[in-house]
Amino acid sequence: MPTMVDCPTCGNKVEWSEKSKYRPFCSERCKQIDLGAWAEEKYTIPAVNPPKDFEDDGLPPR
Known binding positions for Zn(2+): 7, 10, 26, 30
Please, which residues have CB within 8 angstroms of residue 60's CB and are 6 or more apart in sequence? 53, 54
Which amino acids are annotated as binding site, given as ranges? Answer: 7, 10, 26, 30
Q: What share of the chain is helix, strand, coil (3-state, %, to 5)?
A: 20, 10, 70
